[in-house]
Structure 1
Amino acid sequence: RSATTNQQRHLLNHELFCSAFLLIETHTHTHIYIYNLSINAFDYNCHIDLIKLLKQEGELVRLRKARQKMSELFPLTEEIWLDWLKDEIRLTEEEPNREKVYELFETAVIDYICPDIWLEYAQYSIGGMGSPGGMDKVRSIFERAVTAVGLHMTKGHVVWEAYREFENVMLSTVQPPPGRILNHEEQELLKTQIERIHTLFRRQLAVPFMDMEATYAEYDEWSEHGVADTVIHQYKKALQQMAKCKSFEEALIVAEPPKLAEYQSYIDFELKEGDPARVQIIFERTLAENCLVPDMWAKYTTYLDRQLKIKDMVLSSHERAVRNCPWTMGLWKSYLLALERHGADHQTVSDVFEKALNAGFIQATDYVEIWQAYLDYLRRRVDFSKGEKSSKELEELRGAFSRSLDYMKQDVEERFSESGDSSCIIMQIWARIEALHCKNIQKARELWDSIMTKGNAKYANMWLEYYNLERSYGDPLHCRKALHRAVQCTSDYPEHVSEVLLTFERVEGSLEDWDVAVQKTETRLNRINVQRAKVAEKEANLAGQDVGRADQRRKTKADKKGQKNVQKGTRAGEKRKAEQDDNSGTKRHRGNGNQPSEYMETETGLSGRNAPPGYKPAAHGNKRAAAAVHKQNDDDDKPELRNDNSSVFISNLAYTLEEPEAKLRTQFETCGPVKQIRPVFGTKGNFKGYCYVQFESTVSVAEALKLDRREVEGRPMFVSPCVDKNKNPDFKMFKYNTSMEKQKIFISGLPFSCNKEQLEEICKSHGTVKDIRLVTYRSGKPKGLAYVEFADEAQASQAVLKLDGMCVEDNTISVAISNPPSRNMDKPGSHRLMTDMPRQVFGARGRGRTQLSLLPRSLHRQSGSVSKVENGTAAERMPATASEALNAAGETKPLSNSDFARMLLSK
C-alpha cells in the first residue's frame, strides 16, 4: 500500500511538473513573439502565431490588444475577423455595452468585401432591436450590406434572403389574429410591410445570381396576384447577364487558388460591359483572394481614379492598397496624388507621406521617387506671386528639400549602401525652382556646385544641364565659367563639351575669349589623348603576356598529344601485324566483306580517288564530305558572277522571301536587260537572304547600285558591286560611318512597336530631323535602337539633354551622340575571327563573350591614313608587315588571312 501511494505521488508530481513546464514554455514563446514584433512590427506571421498562442492561454485582454495591434498594421482576413468578432460577442453577452462590437464590425467591413461578415453584422444587430431606434438600425445595416455585397454572384443571395426573412418576421408581428378587424392605422402598417417584401423580391430578381430560378419560384408562390410584367422583364435581363457570366463563375469554381488568371479574364469582361458597380464587385472579389498582388491594387485604384471619381470610395481603396502592400512605392505615390486631387487637408497628406517613409521599400530609388512626389505636391501649394519672404508654403518647401537630401544621405545610404539619386535629380529640381520661380540664381549655383562635388563633374551631360540653367536664368560670364570648368573636368565626352564652349564663344565672346577657349580645349584634348594612349599601351602589354602564357600551354599540350600518338601508333602497328599473321597476308574489311576497299573508303569519306564516274555518297555517308562537295559546286559557280563586271551582289533580303528570282527581276529590269539572277540556297533548300544579279551590259550596274536601300517586303535591300574579297581585301561592305557623328543621336531602349513616324514626332520638337534609321535584325524584327540625324550639332545636343531618360510607352530610353565603334564584318567567336585577328590582342583562346575592349575609340579613329571608298565608308590603312602591325598594336585594325599570306609570300 505504501509503494502504491508513493507511485501515485510520483505520477502526480510528474503531471504537475509537465503542466508547469508547458506553462513556462508557453510564456517563453509569448515573450519571444513580443520581442520579435518589437524589432519588426510588420512581421505578419509573427502576429498570427502570437494571436493563436494567446487564445490557447485564454489571455483575453492581451489577445484583444494583439488583434488590435495587428489590425492597425494589416487588413485582416475574413477568418481572423470572424474569429475575433465571435469572441467579442461572447464577452459582451455579460456586458450591456453593444457599441464596442458595432465599432469592431464597422472596422471589419472596411478591409475586404466579405458577405459572411456583413451577414454576421446584420444578425448581431437584430439582437438590439429592443433598444430605441433598433429596428431602423437593423434595416440600415441590411441596406448597406446589399449595397456592398448584393452583386456578389455566388454569395450575395444569402444576404438578400436574410433581409427578406427579417422582413417576413416583421410582417408576422403586424398581421392580426384570425377574426380580428384592423383599424386604418394598422392596415396602413400591414400594407407598408407587404410592400417592403415585394420591393426586396423585385430588387433581388433584377440582379444576376447563380440559381436565381428558385428565388423567382418563391416570389411567384408568395405573391397573391402573381409576378408583374415589369418584374418578369427585369428577371429575364438578369438571366441573360447571368448566362454571360456563368462560364467565368464556373472557371473560378474549378480553379486552384489564387485564381488570378481567371479573375483577370472576368475583370476584362466586366470592363467591356461597362457597368461600374459590377466592375467594382469583381475587383473586390479578386482582391479578397489576391490581397498581396500590387499590380491588381494598382489597376483597381486607377479605375476608380479615372472612372468613378467618388471621393470616399477612391481614398478608402487607396488606403487599403497601401495597407495590403506597404512595400510598393507606386501605391503610396498614387495615394498622395489622390489625396491632393480630392482636396485632402495638408496634415493628412503629410501623415500619409510619413507612413510611406516607414513602409520599408525594397530599393533606394523608391525613396527618391516618393520624395519627388511629395516635393511636387509642396511646390504646387506655393503661390510664388506673393513673393519669396511672405510665403509660409515656400519655406516649408525649402525645408522639405533640405530634409530629403539629409534623408538620402543618412537613412537610405546606410540601408542600401547607395543614395539612389546618383544624378542628384532632387537637387536639380530644387535649383530650377530657385532660378525660375524665386529668381534666386545664386542659390541655384550653390546647389549645382554641390551636385558637381558628388562625383558628377566627370559627366558632360551634367555640365551641359548646368550650362543650360545659366543660359536661361544667368549671365554670359557664369556661362563661360561653367563651360571652362566642364572642359577641365569632363572625362566621358570632352570633345562634345569643347565644341559647346567654342560655339558659345563664336556667339558671345571676344577674340581674346576665343583664343583662351581654343588654348584650353586643345590642351585638354591633348592630355586626354595621351592618357588614352597609355591605357592602350598597357592593354597591349597585358595581351602580350597572355600570348606568352598561351604559347607555353599550347606547347605543353602538343607534347602530350605527340606522346599519345606515338603510343597509339605502336599499338596499331602491333595489331596490324597480328591480323596479317592470322589471315596469311590477306587483308579483310569490316562491314560488307564483298565490297572492294576503294568503295569502302569512298563511302566513309576517306578517299574519292577510285570512285566511279557520277557516283554520289549515300545519305547516311560522311556529312563532311557531302558538304565539301556542295561547297565545291558553289565555288565553281560563283566566280562566273563574282568576277564579272556586269554583276551586283544583293544582300539583307528576308529569309522568308518567296520566289526571290521573280521578285528581284521586277526590281532590276528597270536598270537594263537582266541576263541571270542566282539566289543562294542552303543545303536544306532554304533561302539564305542574298543573291547575284548579272546584266547583259556593264552600264546597268551603275543604275542597279542606285537601288541600294530600297525596301523589299519591309526590309532594306543592300546592293553592292560584285567584288572578290580574296583579290580586294580592302573592300568594305559596311555602309555606315564609324566615327563620331555630332549631328546624329543614338537612341536605345525603344519599344519594339515604335515606328519612324512616332520617333519623328518625338524628335521634331528639338530640331529639324533629316533622317531616321531603325536598327533591325536580319529577320526584320526591331532591336529597339535607332539613329536620328538632325540639321546641326546644336540640335543634336539639345535632343540628348531633353530626350535622355524619357519614357516612351513605359520604356525608359537612353540617348547619346552617335559614336559607333569600328566594325568588323566577322562575328565574334567565329573561326574566321580567330584566324584573322592577331593573337596578342585577345589572348590564346580568342576574345571571350564578356571580355571588354578597353581601347578608346579615338585611338582607333586616329590610326592610319583614311581614304574614302565608293560607298562612303572610311577604310583604314592596313600594315604591310607583321612588325608594323605589332608596333601599331591597339591603333590598327586586325589583319585578315590574305594580309598574312601576302606577308609570308613577301619573305
Structure 2
Amino acid sequence: MDRLKTSERTGTARKNISNMAAATNAEQTQQQDMEEEEEEDAGMEQRDMESGDEEEAMGVESSEDDSSEDEKENEAEIQRLEEQLSINAFDYNCHIDLIKLLKQEGELERLRKARQKMSELFPLTEELWLDWLKDEKRLAEGEQNRESVYELFERAVKDYICPDIWQEYAVYSIGGMGSPGGIDKARAIFERSVTAVGLHMTKGWTVWDAYRVFENNILSSVQPPPGKIPSHQEQEMLNAQLERIHTLFRRQLAVPLMDMEATYAEYEEWSDRGVAETIINQYKQALQRMEKCRPFEEALLAAEPPKLAEYQAYIDFELKEGDPARIVMIFERTLAENCLVPDMWEKYNNYLDRQLKVKDLVLSTHERAVRNCPWTMGLWRSYLLALERHHVDHQTVSDVFEKALNAGFIQATDYVDIWQAYLDYLRRRVDFTKESSKELEELRSTFSRSLEYMKQDVEERFGESGDPSCIIMQNWARIEALHCKNMQKARELWDHIMTKGNAKFANMWLEYYNLERAYGDAPHCRKALHRAVQCTADYPEHVCEVLLTFERVEGSLEDWDVAVQKTETRLNRVNEQRARVAEKEANMARVDDERSEQRRQAKADKKAQKKFQKGGRAAEKRKAEHEDLSQEWKEDCAPKRHKGNGDYCTLELMETEKIPQSGRNAPPGYKPTPPASKPQRLDDDKPELRNDNSSVFISNLAYALEEPEVKLRTLFETCGPIKQVRPVFSNKGTFKGYGYIQFETSMSVPEALKLDRQDVEGRPMYVSPCVDKTKNPDFKVFKYNMSMEKQKIFISGLPFSYTKEQLEQLCKSHGTVKDVRLVTYRSGKSKGLAYVEFADEAQASQAVLKLDGTDVEDKKIAVAISNPPPRNASDKPGSSRGTSDLVPRQAYGARGRGRTQLSLLPRSLHRGQSAPVGTVENGTASKAAGEPKPLSNSDFAKMLLNK
C-alpha cells in the first residue's frame, strides 16, 4: 500500500515537471497570445461601454470612486512605510509590509526596487524568493531579460539551500534550449542542482526526476522516426543519450532518498538490458543508509518548528558517520529553519574551517552567517580569520571589518574584541625588519583610531569604556617595545593606561615592570616599582617584595636603603588601615550580637509576660464573674414569705444543681462588664513629623552609623541646598536609624527620592515623602510597577552571596542591561531574588530563554518576564471589607464543632423564646424565629423554683 501511494505521488510530481517543461517551451508564443487577448478585451470593453445603460454607467462610476479611495489610502500607507525605512533601514517587518502592498497595487518597478533593497540587507526566505522569481519570469522578454532572471536565480540559491528554488531554476533553464548552447547550459544547471540538493533525503528526488525528464525529452528529439534507419552519427548520439539516462538512474539509486523504491521500479521498467549487479549492490547500501536515517527524518516530520533539538541529534549522527557531503547537507537543512541561531552557524563554520577547508564554500557560509546574525561578534571575528586564512585581498578584509563596526553589537566588550581581531590581522601583515613601511603606519593609525572609537562611540552608546584594563593599549605598547624597539612610545602608552584608573592594581604595575625589564633599563624599572609601591591598593606586599628583590640584584646600598624605608612606611600605613577596618568590623559585629541578644531576650520576656498576664486576667475574670453571680443569686433567692403563715423559709440549692464556677455557664443574657481598656503609652521620643513639601523621611539606617548628620548631609547634598538634617536619637543618645531632611526648596525632593534603596554601609536606605498618615490614611508609597513589564525579567533562586555586579555581568551577554535590582531584607541581605531591566522586550525574552533553568554557583535559577501579582482589594488604600465582617466567623477546629461549643441551655428555656417573624413587641420588630431571647438572672431563679 505504501509503495502504491509512493508511486502515485512520484508519478504526479513527474507529470507536473513535464507540464512545466512544456509550458516553458511555449514561451515564444505567449507574448503573441497576450497581445491578441488584450486587443480582444479592448474591443469587448468598447462594446460594453457603447451598449451600457445609464444605471450600469452610474454603478461603474461608483465602483471607480471606491477604487480611487482605496488607491489613495494604499498610496499613503506606501509612503509612510518608505519614510519609516528611510529612518530605519533594518526594520524587517516594514520591508515585508511594503512588498505586500506594492504587489497588491501592481507597482512593478517600485516592487522590484523594494525587493532589491531588502535583499541587500537581509537573506530572503524561500517564499519571498519564489514569489519574486515568479513575477520576474512573467515579465521576462527576450534573451537579455532571460539573463537577468538567471542572475536573480544565482542570487537566490546563495541565501539558503532550497530544493524548490533549484528545481525552479533548472526547469526555467529548459526554456532556453532553443538558443545557442541552451542545452549545455540547462544541463550544467541541472548538474549543479543535484550537487547542491540531490542529497536532501525528503526533497532531493524531485531534482533528480526533473533532470531525467529533461534528458528523456532530449532523447525523444534525437530518436529517428519509425521505419527510418539511423545513420552512424545519429546512432552514436542516441547511444550517448541513453547512457546519460542510465548514468542518472545509477547515480540516483546510489543516494539514500525517501521513496527510492519507486525509482528502482521505474529503472527496472525503463532499462531494456536489466539492472546490473553493481547497481543493485549500491541500491541496497543506500537503502540501509536510509533506514539508519529514517528515525531522524520521522522525528523531524513529527516535531514542531524550529526543531532545533531534532536537528542537533541528526547532526551528531552524521558527524559520527563522517560523510562530508551529508554533513554539509544536514547543516544547511538545519540553518534553513534556524537561520537566527548564532551557535548553529558557529558550529557549521568551525566544521568547514577545520575539516573541509574549501575556499568558496567556507567564505560563502561565513558571509551568510553574518548576514543572518549581524549582532554576533564571534561570527564576524571568524569571518575575518577565514578571509585571512584563504589569502583574500586586503581591501575585502577591510570592507568586512567596516561592516562589522556597523552591525550593532549588544555589549561594549564586543567592539573591543572585533577591534583586537582586526589589529591582530594588521600586525601579521607588517614586516618589522623594515624600519618603516606602509603596513606599519596603517597599524599605528588603526591603533589610534580604535582608541578614539572606544572613547567616543562606545562610551556614548553604552556608558562604559568596554576596555577598562586597556587591553588594546597594552598590546600596542608591547608591539612598540618588542618589534619597533620604541620604548619611549611604550612608556607613554603605559602612563596613559595608569591614568585610566589602573594604578591601584598590582598586576598592571607588574606588567609594566616586566616590559621594562625585558626591553627597557634599570632606572625605569626602579621608577616603575617605586610608583607601584606608592599606588597599589590590592596587593601592596607583593609589589614591595618585587622591589626588594630587584634591589638585591641591581641596586646599590643607597638604593636598598631607600627601598626598605619606602616599603616599611607603606606597609605600616596599610597595616594601620587594615587594623582600623578590622576594629570597625569587630565593633559592628559585637553591636549586632548584642542587639540580637537583646531582641531575643525581649522576645522571651514579652512572651512570658504575655502568658502570665493572660493567666492572671483569666483567673481574676472568673473570680469576679463568680462573685457577681453569687450576689445576684442571693438577691433573687432571698428569704420569701409563704402564703398562709408568717414564717420565712430559706431557699437552699441542692447539691445536684450546683453551677460550675466557670464563666461559660453563666445564665443566658448575662453579660459581664468588660474591663476598662488600658491606655497605651504614647511615644514621646518620636519627634514631630515635618509635613511640608520640601522634606523627606529617611529610615532603615544602621544604628551604629557614625555621625549620621554628617553622613546624611553628604549623601543628599547633590540633590539640592539642605536647610536642616534631623537624625532621631533615643533618650540614651543612640541613633534610632531614621531621621528627616528638609531642603530649602521642594524641587530637591524628587532628586532625593531617587536615592531610595541605595546601599549605606550594607543596608538599603529607604527614602519617602514626609506625609502625616493619620491625616492621609489612603497614602501608600509603592515604588515599583504592579503590571507586566515585558522589558524586565524576574530571577529567583539566586545564591544569597550573589552581588549586583555579578548579576549584571551574567545578563550582559543577552542584551543591554539598563537596571539591576536585588531584592533584600531590611538588613541588606539578599533574598535570592532580583529584577533586571533590558533595553527592549526582545532582549528580555532572549534572556528568559537562555537563562531559565541554568546553574549559578550550584543553584538552579528560574527566570520569567516580570509580572507582579495584583494587590488584594482589602489591602488597597480606602478599601473596606464590605459585608464580610458582618458574617459571623466559624470557630470550628480541624475536627468540626467542639464539645465546648454545644449549647448548655436547658431545654425548658427554649420554650417561648421564639416569636413569629414580623411580630411587633413594644413597638419593636421581634427577632427571627429560633434566635434565643435574652433572659435576666431573675428569670433563671424562677426556673429553679418551678418543679
Q: Does 1:246 align with 2:294?
A: yes
Asked whether 1:141 is paired with 2:186, we answer no
Contact 1:321 1:331 in 2 (8 A): yes
Among residues 321, 327, 330, which one is paired with 1:273 in the alignment? 321
| Corresponding residue for residue 218 of structure 1 | 266
Separation of aligned partners in 2, 1:368 and 1:322? 18
1:8 and 1:198, CA in 2 relative to 1: closer, same or farther beyond 3 A?
closer
Aligned partner of 2:544 in structure 1 is 498
Q: Which residue does 2:166 correspond to in 1?
A: 118
Equivalent residue, structure 1, for 2:408: 360
Conserved in 1, the CA contact under 8 Å of 2:377 and 2:414? Answer: yes
Question: Which of 388, 398, 401 is the aligned partner of 1:340?
Answer: 388
Question: Which of 457, 462, 476 matches 2:522?
Answer: 476
Give yes or no for contact 1:171–1:190 (8 Å, CA) kept in 2.
Answer: yes
Q: 1:26 to 1:549 in 2, by over 3 A?
A: farther
Q: How do residues 691-770 of structure 1 correspond to structure 2 at under 5 angstroms?
A: none
Amino acid at match of 2:356: L
Q: CA deviation at 1:527?
A: 2.7
**2: distance between equivalents of 1:294 and 1:587?**
84
1:401 is displaced (CA, Å) by 0.6
Aligned CA RMSD, in angstroms, stands at 3.5
Deviations 1:422-450 (A, max 9, x none): 10011111101100001111110000000
Superposed CA deviations along residues 589-637 of structure 1, whole A, max 9, x for unmatched, are: xxxxxxxxxxxxxxxxxxxxxxxxxxxxxxxxxxxxxxxxxxxxxxxxx
1:448 match: 494
The one-letter code matched in structure 1 to 2:107 is E
Structure 2 residue matching 1:136: 3-state secondary structure: helix
Please give the TM-score of this superposition, normalised by the length of structure 2.
Answer: 0.58
Tell me the residue number matched to 1:371. Answer: 419
Q: Is the 8 A contact 2:409 2:415 kept in 1?
A: yes
Code of the residue aligned with 1:192 in structure 2: it is A
Could you tell me how far apart the structure 2 residues matched to 1:67 and 1:199 are? 40
Give the C-alpha shift of residue 280 in structure 1.
0.6
Find the counterpart in structure 2 of residue 188 from structure 1. Answer: 236
Structure 2 partner of 1:421: 467
Aligned twin of 1:315: 363
Shift of 1:466: 0.3
Q: Structure 1 vs Structure 2: percent identity of aligned residues?
A: 76
Question: Partner residue of 1:762?
Answer: none
Note if 1:462 corresponds to 2:508.
yes
Say whether the 8 Å CA contact 1:547–1:844 is kept in structure 2. Answer: no
Q: Deviations over 1:678-713 (max 9, x none)?
A: xxxxxxxxxxxxxxxxxxxxxxxxxxxxxxxxxxxx
Q: 1:523 to 1:105 in 2, by over 3 A?
A: same
Counting matched residue pairs gives 593
Instruction: Name the structure 2 match of 1:71.
Output: 119
Looking at structure 1, the residues matched to 75 and 169 of structure 2 have their Cα atoms a distance apart, in angstroms, of 34
Q: 1:284 aligns with which of 321, 328, 332?
A: 332
Give the direction of change, closer, same or farther, for the CA distance of 1:212–1:10 in structure 2 (3 Å limit): closer
State the distance in 2 between where 1:584 and 1:556 align.
Answer: 45
From the superposition, tell whether residues 570 and 381 of structure 1 become closer, same or farther in structure 2 (CA, over 3 Å): same
The answer to whether the Cα contact below 8 Å between 1:550 and 1:844 also exists between their aligned partners in 2 is: no
1:821-849, Cα deviation, whole Å (9 max, x unpaired): xxxxxxxxxxxxxxxxxxxxxx9979778
Deviation at residue 418 of structure 1 after TM alignment = 0.9
Which residues in structure 2 correspond to 1:585-734 (within 5 Å)?
none
Offset, 1:58: 2.0
> For 2:593 and 2:67, how far apart are their aligned partners in 1?
77
CA distance in 2, matches of 1:543, 1:93: 90
Match of 1:756 in 2: none
User: Per the alignment, do residues 429 and 100 of structure 1 end up closer, same or farther by CA in structure 2, a change over 3 Å counting?
Assistant: same
Among candidates 302, 318, 324, match of residue 372 of structure 2: 324
**Does 1:89 pair with 2:107?**
no
Quick one: distance in 1 between partners of 2:250 and 2:509?
72
Q: Using a 3 Å threshold, how does the CA distance of structure 1 residues 559 and 177 change in structure 2: closer, same or farther?
A: same
Distance 1:587 1:151 in 2: 99
| In structure 2, C-alpha distance between the alignment counterparts of 1:8 and 1:401, rounded to whole Å | 77
Query: Contact 2:622–2:661 at 8 Å: present in 1 too?
Result: no
> In 1, distance between residues paired with 2:829 and 2:365?
56
2:290 is aligned with 1:234: no
Aligned-partner SS, 1:224: coil
**Contact 1:546 1:844 (C-alpha < 8 Å) held by counterparts:** no
- For residues 600 and 321 of structure 2, what CA distance do their matches in structure 1 show? 73
- Judging changes above 3 Å, is the alpha-carbon distance between structure 1 residues 255 and 574 closer, same or farther for their aligned structure 2 residues? farther
Q: What residue identity is the alignment partner of 2:457?
A: D
Report the residue type matching 1:428 in the other structure.
Q
* Paired amino acid for 1:196: R
Match of 2:399 in 1: 351
Query: Which residue identity is paired with 1:509?
Result: G
Asked whether the 8 Å contact 1:149–1:281 carries over to 2, the reply is yes
Conservation of the 8 A alpha-carbon contact between 1:434 and 1:441:
yes
2:536 partner amino acid? T
Distance 1:219 1:473, change over 3 A: same
Cα shift readout 1:528-578 (whole Å, capped 9, x = no counterpart)? 334444545665676788789879988987797678546643675489889
Cα separation, partners in 2 of 1:848 and 1:329, compared to 1, 3 Å? closer
2-side partners of 1:554 and 1:14: how far apart? 89
Query: Residue 403 of structure 1: CA displacement?
Result: 0.6
Partner amino acid, structure 2, of 1:349: V
Say whether 1:305 aligns with 2:349. Answer: no
Structure 2: distance between partners of 1:156 and 1:492: 65
Q: Counterparts of 1:579 and 1:261 in 2: how far apart (Å)?
A: 81
What is the DSSP-based 3-state SS (H/G/I as helix, E as strand, rest coil) of the residue aligned with 1:384? coil
| Structure 1 residues 25 and 396: CA distance shift in structure 2, 3 A | same
Question: Which amino acid is the alignment partner of residue 267 of structure 1?
Answer: I
Distance 1:204 1:530, change over 3 A: same
Distance 1:490 1:563, change over 3 A: same
Which of the numbers 385, 391, 395 marks the counterpart of 2:441? 395
Aligned with 2:212 (options 148, 160, 164): 164
Residues 847-906 of structure 1, C-alpha deviation per residue, up to 9 Å, x if partnerless? 77899xxxxxxxxxxxxxxxxxxxxxxxxxxxxxxxxxxxxxxxxxxxxxxxxxxxxxxx
Of 61, 65, 79, 1:31 maps to 79
Distance 1:407 1:273 in 2: 48
Q: 4+ runs of 1 displaced by more than 3 Å?
A: 6-25, 93-96, 529-588, 843-851
- Alignment partners' CA distance in 2, 1:316 and 1:583: 107
The match for 1:514 among 560, 573, 578 is 560
Cα distance in 1 for residues equivalent to 2:352 and 2:412: 29
Which entry has the higher C-alpha Rg, 1 or 2? Answer: 2
Which of 428, 437, 440 in structure 1 is aligned with 2:483?
437
For residues 50 and 535 of structure 1, do their structure 2 counterparts lie closer, same or farther at Cα, with a shift above 3 Å needed?
A: farther
Structure 2 CA distance for aligned equivalents of residues 520 and 48 of structure 1: 71
CA distance in 1, matches of 2:397, 2:170: 35
Mark the CA change 1:846 to 1:150 in structure 2 (over 3 Å): closer, same or farther: closer
Query: Offset of 1:23 from its aligned partner?
Result: 3.7
**Partners of 1:293 and 1:325 within 8 A in 2:** yes
> When the two structures are superposed, what TM-score results if normalisation uses the length of structure 1?
0.61
Q: Distance in 1 between matches of 2:510 and 2:413?
A: 24
Moved more, 487-496 or 155-164: 487-496
Partners of 1:236 and 1:179 in 2: CA distance: 40
Distance in 2 (CA, whole Å) between partners of 1:405 and 1:263 is 43
Does the C-alpha gap of structure 1 residues 103 and 584 become closer, same or farther in structure 2, counting only changes over 3 Å? Answer: farther
Aligned partner of 2:246 in structure 1 is 198
